[in-house]
Amino acid sequence: MFKELRIQGKTINMNDVELFPRSSRGESVSIEGGDMMLFSEKHFLIGCSERTTEHAIHCLKDVLFKRELIDNVVQVNIPNDRSFMHIDTIFTRINQDHIVCYRPLVYDGLSSYVTVYRSNGSKAKYHSIKEFIHAEINADMQFIFSGNGISPYQEREQWTDGCNLVALKPGVAVTYDRNTRTMEALRQYGYQAMTAEEFLNEDINAKEIENTIIQIPSSELSRARGGSHCMTLPIKRAYIK
C-alpha cells in the first residue's frame, strides 16, 4: 500500500506494545479496517469512530511519519454511533471525480470534521469532509448521495451500506443490490447497473467495462453491517489517481 511496504514487504505490527502502548488514560490502540483509506498518493485517511480511537490514530501517525511513508495523515472525525461504524459506511471514492456519500455528515458537515496532520509538523482543520476533499484532493469532486439525498431513504440506505462501495478500477465498483435509490442517483451521473450474475455469466471482457456498478446480493451481509469496501481490505488495491 505504501512505498516501503510494497517494495520491502514489511508490515507495521500494531500489536507491538512498545510502538503502540496504551495511553496514559488507559485508552487502547484500536483501529478498524474500514476506517483506513489510501485516498490519494499523499493522503492517508483514518476515521475516528466507534471502533477506532484517537490515541491509535496518533500512534500510527507517528510511525508513518517516522518511516517517511506518507505526507499527510488525515483524521476524519465522525459520530461514535453504530449507524456510522467506520468512515466507509459514510463515503467511498469510486472514480476520479465521484464519491458516494451520506449527505448529512459528508456534504453538510453535521457532527463531523477533519484534521490533517502533515509530516512537517503542521496541521490543517476543515469543518466538513466535503471542504477537505475540495481543498486538498480534487476541487471538481462531485458527491453522489445515498438514497438520492432524500429522507428517509438516505438514512435507510446508509444503514444498508449504500455508501460502502469498492472500486475495482475508476468508474467500476461493487455494491449491494438493495440500495435502489442510491442506484438512481448513480444513474444520474452516468453509471449503469449490472448484476453479479451478468458479470460472471455473460461473455464480458472486464477490462472493457466502464461506468458500471456491479450489484451483489445483500440480504445476509448487510445484517452484519459489512460492506464491499471494508470486507475487501486484504485485496491489494491502490488509490484512484
Q: Where are the beta strands (DSSP E) in 90-198?
A: 91-95, 98-101, 113-118, 123-126, 142-145, 166-169, 172-176, 192-195
- Please, which residues bridge with residue 214 across strands? 174, 194
Cα angle 131-164-118, degrees, rounded to a multiple of 5:
40
Q: How far is CA 240 from CA 2, 70, 107, 117, in A?
A: 14, 16, 20, 21
Measured distance CA(124)–CA(191) in Å, rounded: 34
Residues 6 or more apart whose Cβ sits within 8 Å of residue 96? 138, 170, 240, 241
> Can you give the C-alpha Rg of the chain in angstroms?
18
Instruction: State yes or no: is 59 an active-site residue.
Output: no
Per the CB < 8 A criterion, the answer to whether 43 and 137 are in contact is yes
Set 48, 59, 101, 230: catalytic member: 230
What single-letter amino acid sits at 180?
Answer: T
Q: Measure CA of the first residue to CA of the last residue in the chain; give whole Å.
A: 14
Catalytically active residues, by annotation: 230
